[in-house]
Structure 1
């Protein structure tokens, strides 16, 4: 068994817990590998590995907040991820630090015995003329230049049917997992993670349609003709600039995120947003 561990950067508590996990799992004969920042923080650069290769391990452990979880998920592929919450909102991280060692040991044992209860959450990707975005756990954003005098005219179709057309800063397409993140700040709806849906939210539209929740298998097409360029962003990172006119298709992609350990209490996490 091998476990990949990512600790929140510049967080001594997260680094200390990563070192504690390594010691405990080492006693069980489990190999541990860390992203470069975590390996440096615990003083063991020889244990560093690229997060991009974490899909080769049996389990990935994220220590920190939802941002750390998203970073770990980018390289985890179909490998199960267990999130340890260090006082953040914790939509993706259900394990408290005081129970982390036992929880990780229990999950490693369950995976080894092939009886782990793994949940799945969707990922999204954007495609256009040979371009494919990095898969997103939370959201894909298609945007023009934001602010005064910015934006573009966006035409949005859902499975080939017109949904909206008009001037906006951008179009945001989110999973239920991401409904409480950027989507919420742009006026989009909260969607419980048990719902099989895809959210479409106009960003600062001049004559905006209400946010829309459609079936999770729907395909969203965004067309732009009148901007200098547009930018596609996946989970707030790796912006990719594309020329215009342009048509972009957003839909589910494989593999889904595979979540290990106990499920987070969605409503408890909501209470931490205020």
Structure 2
């Protein structure tokens, strides 16, 4: 088969663009069909397309930090993604820039031979309205429900129910539900636990609760609902970007998304990443 590859470079990052150009040249010499994101295409004069159009590719390479990979993952659905790390920590981006050419060409050779690539499946979350018909884009890190703003006078009352039973109800800045992937992100900054990447679990963490309960670790197929009241405005947010304005009282259901994300190629060392956290 002729492998179809997409490459997305971190916006306005010359180092990422130069690496993208190197990969394009090498892969095209090997007979692969390559497109880059539109911003990168303008910088390196390569065939370009919107990132969302890369959903039909066999492999997408994300060059940048974990934030770049999260953006790409939102756009390409279940398409396998390889992260090249230009950031500081890199829990998702396992490949160093100096190794990128060898790793990507090896994966393309594997695609040509087998039609598939090795990888690890990452769980995603889906937030939906219980009383309203809406659904947010799937979250790789976390779903957050919060009041109109953080800090004094800005929170709301949020009841957390687990399989229909109340776990806690308190005035909070917000409540988040995270995957193991997201345990090192917003969850960790709010005092939630670290979760090993391959653990089969979700975590519920309150933010600045007046009646605080410990973070709760549950099985992935648990039915979780977050009911928010005591404020005129609230929000449900997926991975810090996709958001839905709520008019409390409102209830949000958080479940596993139908499609996971395939993280292709070598996997990042979780403990090395922890060493880089401040």
Could you state the TM-score of these two structures normalised by the residue count of structure 1? 0.96
- The match for 1:149 among 148, 153, 156 is 153
Alignment partners' CA distance in 2, 1:191 and 1:232 = 23
Aligned to 2:229: 225
The gaps in structure 2 that reach 5 residues or longer are: none
Residue deviations 1:12-51 (CA, integer Å, cap 9, x gap) = 100000000000000011111122222122234xx22111
Aligned to 2:16: 14
Contact 1:66 1:88 (8 Å CA) reproduced: no
Secondary structure of the equivalent of 1:88? coil
- The match for 1:174 among 168, 172, 178 is 178
Aligned to 1:246: 250
Contact 2:175 2:207 (8 Å CA) reproduced: yes
Secondary structure of the equivalent of 2:222? coil
Q: CA deviation at 1:87?
A: 4.0
Alignment partners' CA distance in 1, 2:96 and 2:128 = 38
Q: CA deviation at 1:256?
A: 0.2
Q: CA deviation at 1:89?
A: 0.4
Contact 2:126 2:135 (8 Å CA) reproduced: yes
Could you state the TM-score of these two structures normalised by the residue count of structure 2? 0.95
Write the mapping of 1:50-129 to structure 2, written as runs, cut at 5 A.
Answer: 50-114=50-114, 116-128=117-129, 129=132
Contact 1:197 1:213 (8 Å CA) reproduced: yes
Secondary structure of the equivalent of 2:258? strand
Secondary structure of the equivalent of 1:131? coil
Runs of 4+ in 1 over 3 A off after TM superposition: none
Residue deviations 1:76-128 (CA, integer Å, cap 9, x gap) = 21110000011420100001111101100111121232253221010001000
Secondary structure of the equivalent of 1:24? helix
Alignment partners' CA distance in 2, 1:225 and 1:85 = 41
- The match for 1:255 among 255, 259, 265 is 259
- The match for 1:216 among 192, 216, 220 is 220
Secondary structure of the equivalent of 1:231? strand
Contact 1:199 1:212 (8 Å CA) reproduced: yes
Alignment partners' CA distance in 2, 1:87 and 1:242 = 34
Pairwise CA RMSD of aligned residues? Answer: 1.1
Alignment partners' CA distance in 2, 1:26 and 1:70 = 26
Alignment partners' CA distance in 2, 1:109 and 1:132 = 38
Alignment partners' CA distance in 2, 1:196 and 1:246 = 29
Alignment partners' CA distance in 2, 1:147 and 1:43 = 47
Matched, 1:235 2:227: no
The gaps in structure 1 that reach 5 residues or longer are: none
